[in-house]
Amino acid sequence: MFKKTVTFLFCISAFASSAQQEIKPIEAKITDVTVFMSGAQVSVTGAISLREGENQVRIAGLPAQLDANSIQIEGNEAYTILGARHEINYLTSAPTSPRLRALQDSLDEALFKHKELTTIKEVLVGERQMLEENRAIKGENTTLIVDDLKEMADFFRNRQTEISYKYLEIEEKERLNNREVERLQNALNSMNAKVNSNPSEIIIALNASRAGNSSVRISYFVRNAGWVPVYDLRAKDVNSPIEFSYRAKVFQSTGSDWKNVNLTISTGNPTVGGQIPVLNPWFLYQAQAYQPVSIASGGYNPMVTNETPSVAAYDYKSVQDKSLSSYVTIQQNTVNTEFKIAIPYSIPSDNAKYDVTMKTESLNASYSYITVPKLDNDAFLKARISDWAQYSLLPGESNIYFKGTFVGKGFIDPTQANDTLDLSLGRDRAISVKRDMLRDYCKSNLLGNKKTTSKAFEITAQNNKNQPIELIIEDQIPISQNGEITVEQEEISGGSLDATTGKLTWKLTLQPGETQKRQLRFSVTYPKKINVSGL
């Protein structure tokens, strides 16, 4: 059992007295990895054979990008750690990963195919040239026979046609092969750019009280790794709980494959500084800026539907069956949450993303439909979940399944949630919504130096489902940003108006086949000399 941990920043003097001493290489294996949002803490364990007195051992094949200041060495009572140093081995090349070798093999095969196709094209061109040079079939003392002429013309035409079609076929194969060569070369360049050709190593100076076998454990932080959260939301119907799956897509390009390691997923991020910020004085200055007269008319986006923020595009791969979240132990720390995976995982150093299921829960949810017909006439199913904070969720994309069918992608952003977390479950075409302008009410009037513009809309909602539904309709009334412009609400059909944002909400209960209508009417009065934008 390890008894002590030593963190080394500068350990040079320990090597001064034993500069000529033999340095023993030891075999070490990556045993534990904690993956953060950015970076990973890697632990390596190796067996050592000690002689009495001073010893120097080398652990080689480590990533060149590891943070030397993060190195920690754990020993035991069999020896005392005198010092350690980290250095790059410029005489050794880093081992090539299986994916890198596979890419290089595929590229070599595609390049050979290119040479093969080029050779076939040259043969066809030569054959065509030979036919052209032997078009004359009549010698000086030969009588021309019509049948011979016809036979040779047929041969010439047929062969030229065959050569032309074969040439076109080879050109198409060459075009596709060139595209494959370009794709493989780009992938290879991208991977090579992330790999340092020279590995690093750690040399440790030890003092053993007696000869014998022991072990040493080293941990270090490396940046070329991380994970992104992904969620799967599955609901059978609006009366069932949501099956919620919390997954991590883990990636790394450290130059060392993680083979059958004890994996821990952490919501922490060591790359973010831990220094407490200092609040400086807040000075105000007079600004001379032109402010255009306008009315806020931006749309209110209730939820993300099929469009999600971009994420890095990688080949998603599954290491093994990750549905057994019972193998995951969750540990809540002061500043982060750790998911310890009991099943050994293997994550190659290829920067591809590998699925790790961290948690699966059945969540009680209340369902309702929401529509914003000013922006989109479709109704969206929304699930509201309480007590969501206990799951340590992070912003990430979600895959939405309803009644066993994939309905689209969404985005979960816990930073925007309060007591409840709202999840979008996609569109429901069985609810018809439309928003029509009432032209009889839409007009402009001049009275003195004032102009009044009136707007009116009617929203119609129909439930085509065979069960009653709760439907929330959202719209808005413009907000004036100028004291000379006044907005007056004339009709909101019992809706709830937020005077600060101008957001207007109706909550309806629609029986099967029922249709309900709501009206929105308002007027804007402003000096006729002012141009009002957004109206």
pLDDT tens-digit readout, 360-379: 888 888 888 999 999 999 99
Whole-number pLDDT of residue 331: 66
Measured distance CA(329)–CA(265) in Å, rounded: 10
Contact 368, 385 (CB under 8 A): no
Are 81 and 200 in the same domain?
Answer: yes
Q: Where does 390-487 have alpha helices with state H? A: none
**What are the CA-CA distances from residue 297 to residues 20, 159, 168, 488, 495 (Å)?**
78, 71, 58, 15, 19
Residue 261 has pLDDT above 90, yes or no: yes
Q: 3-state SS of 144-178?
A: CCHHHHHHHHHHHHHHHHHHHHHHHHHHHHHHHHH
Are 12 and 147 in the same domain?
Answer: no
Q: Which segments within 387-419 are labelled E, that is strand?
A: 396-402, 405-412
Are 151 and 26 in the same domain?
Answer: no
Q: Is residue 86 part of a domain?
A: yes
Are 201 and 90 in the same domain?
Answer: yes
Measured distance CA(412)–CA(398) in Å, rounded: 7
Last residue in a domain, options 194, 211, 232: 194
Residue 309 has pLDDT above 50, yes or no: no
Q: Is residue 91 part of a domain?
A: yes
Are 41 and 170 in the same domain?
Answer: no
Last residue in a domain, options 194, 210, 236: 194
φ, ψ at 31 (rounded to 5°)? -110, -35
Q: What is the mean pLDDT of the chain?
A: 79
* Residue found by looking up tokens 């910020």 in the block: 277
Q: How many domains does the chain have?
A: 2
Contact 398, 233 (CB under 8 A): yes
* Residue found by looking up tokens 């009366």 in the block: 239
Measured distance CA(106)–CA(478) in Å, rounded: 60
Residue 45 belongs to domain spanning: 4-96+196-222
Query: For 207, which DSSP code?
Result: E
- Alpha carbon dihedral 4, 9, 14, 16, in 10-degree steps, equals 170
Residues 348-358 have a mean pLDDT of 87
Strand partners, 398: 231, 410
Q: Considering only 275-289, 452-466, 468-482, which range has the smallest mean pLDDT?
A: 275-289
The separation between CA 165 and the C-alpha centre of its own chain, rounded to angstroms, equals 45
**What are the CA-CA distances from residue 278 to residues 275, 281, 283, 497 (Å)?**
9, 10, 15, 41
What is the longest distance spanned by two Cα atoms in the chain? Answer: 112
Q: Is residue 500 part of a domain?
A: no
Residue 319 has pLDDT above 70, yes or no: no
Instruction: Tokens for 76, please give them.
Output: 């035991």
Q: Is residue 426 part of a domain?
A: no
- The residues, ordered by sequence, that sit 6+ positions from 492 with a Cβ below 8 Å of its Cβ are 477, 504, 518, 519, 520, 521
How confident is residue 312, by pLDDT bands cut at 50, 70 and 90?
very low
Per-residue pLDDT reduced to its tens digit, 195-233: 555 678 889 898 888 898 998 999 999 988 999 999 888
Q: Is residue 153 part of a domain?
A: yes
Measured distance CA(447)–CA(292) in Å, rounded: 24
Contact 305, 380 (CB under 8 A): yes
Are 51 and 80 in the same domain?
Answer: yes
Are 27 and 148 in the same domain?
Answer: no
Are 120 and 189 in the same domain?
Answer: yes
Are 45 and 178 in the same domain?
Answer: no
Per-residue pLDDT reduced to its tens digit, 59-91: 888 888 888 888 998 888 888 888 888 888 766
Angle at 442 between CA 438 and CA 446, to 5 degrees: 165
Are 181 and 203 in the same domain?
Answer: no
Residue 291 has pLDDT above 80, yes or no: no
Residue 512 has pLDDT above 90, yes or no: yes
Q: Is residue 75 part of a domain?
A: yes
How confident is residue 448, by pLDDT bands cut at 50, 70 and 90?
confident
Q: Is residue 201 part of a domain?
A: yes
φ, ψ at 155 (rounded to 5°)? -60, -45
Per-residue pLDDT reduced to its tens digit, 27-38: 889 999 999 989
φ, ψ at 358 (rounded to 5°)? -100, -35
Q: Is residue 154 part of a domain?
A: yes
Question: Whole-model pTM above 0.75?
Answer: no
Are 189 and 202 in the same domain?
Answer: no
Are 62 and 104 in the same domain?
Answer: no
Residue type for 411, please? F
- The residues, ordered by sequence, that sit 6+ positions from 127 with a Cβ below 8 Å of its Cβ are 159, 163
